[in-house]
Amino acid sequence: MKIRIVTLKQAIELVKAHEPLFIWEIIEQLESCVYNRKIRNETNPNDGLSDELKNQQLNLINTLDTDKIIEKLGAFSDEVLVYEGETKLKELILDKTIVIINGDLVVEQSIKDNYDDDCLFIVLGNVKVESIVTYSWMFISGNLTCENVTICDSSSNKTMFVCGNMRSKTILENGHSIIVGGKLNVEDIYYISKYSVQDENGFIEANSKTPIQEILNEDQSYMNLDKALDYLDKGGTKFTV
């Protein structure tokens, strides 16, 4: 595994070369995220890093082969991080970053991203992971296998796109969307938005009306995200009744 920095133009060319199903949605979000990042950096210029510090932190990542991306690498104004080749990690936490995995991805534990409008995760290949927690935009050009739970939560109706097939033991949706180009295979699905999850055959009906009590909010009406994440971190596997 090797990480490199690319420009927006190079990132778009990389995506086009793979010709994924939702190619124009991916490119649109790449451009949007980079634009949002420019605005943020113009407003808070101290968020940016000098070229010297960028290189130092990038070298540190590649030397240590760390599982986590250093947060300040997300302060680049017109650049994207690319993992080259098949990537195997224990955990992947995306914080204020635009990341492309150019190859298949295997994560032992969880993939988690950030609420920010300039957080974007693209995998040009297949993904196998224990659990996913997403608040932002996520694109997978191949198949997604999630052994435990996929938790999707955003206040601005962001979307997870899976171009191939998707399998997840459980899906919990809270103001987010999941669009699967192939077939969705899920045991239990709970959502608050009726038309939020779909695959090649159309919209998917929820088969679980209520999350388990451990992850409900105070009035027992909706899933509480913090409780759900705490339950997941403690090894929880049964999320609905």
pLDDT digits (tens, 9 = 90+) for 19-44: 889 999 999 888 888 777 776 666 65
Quote the pLDDT of residue 42.
65
Residue 176 near residue 157 (C-beta atoms within 8 A): yes
What are the DSSP E strand ranges found in 57-123?
Answer: 79-84, 87-89, 92-93, 98-102, 105-112, 120-123
Quote the pLDDT of residue 117.
59
Provide the pLDDT confidence category of residue 207 given band limits of 50, 70 and 90: confident
Query: Which range, of 9-13, 16-20, 45-49, 203-207, averages the lowest pLDDT?
Result: 45-49
Quote the pLDDT of residue 80.
84
What average pLDDT does the segment 46-58 reach?
55
Proportion of the chain above pLDDT 90, given as a percent: 37
Instruction: Tell me which amino acid residue 85 is.
Output: G
Is residue 202 packed enough to be buried (19+ CB in 10 Å), middle (13-18) or exposed (0-12)? exposed
Checking if the pLDDT of 210 tops 90, the result is: no
Provide the pLDDT confidence category of residue 70 given band limits of 50, 70 and 90: very low
Contacts for 221-225 with beta carbons within 8 Å, 24 or more apart?
222/174, 222/192, 223/172, 223/174, 223/190, 223/192, 225/151, 225/153, 225/174
Checking if the pLDDT of 48 tops 70, the result is: no
Instruction: Tell me which amino acid residue 183 is.
Output: K
Provide the pLDDT confidence category of residue 17 given band limits of 50, 70 and 90: very high
200/147 Cα distance (integer angstroms): 21
Give whichever of 112-116, 185-189, 225-229 has the largest mean pLDDT. 185-189
Is residue 54 packed enough to be buried (19+ CB in 10 Å), middle (13-18) or exposed (0-12)? middle
Note the pTM of the prediction, 2 decimals: 0.83
Query: Reduced to 3 states, what is the DSSP secondary structure of residue 65?
Result: coil
Residue spans per domain, the chain: 2-233
Query: Which range, of 16-20, 131-135, 148-152, 214-218, averages the lowest pLDDT?
Result: 214-218
Extract the tokens encoding 40.
């943020």
Residue 195 near residue 210 (C-beta atoms within 8 A): no
What average pLDDT does the segment 152-168 reach?
88
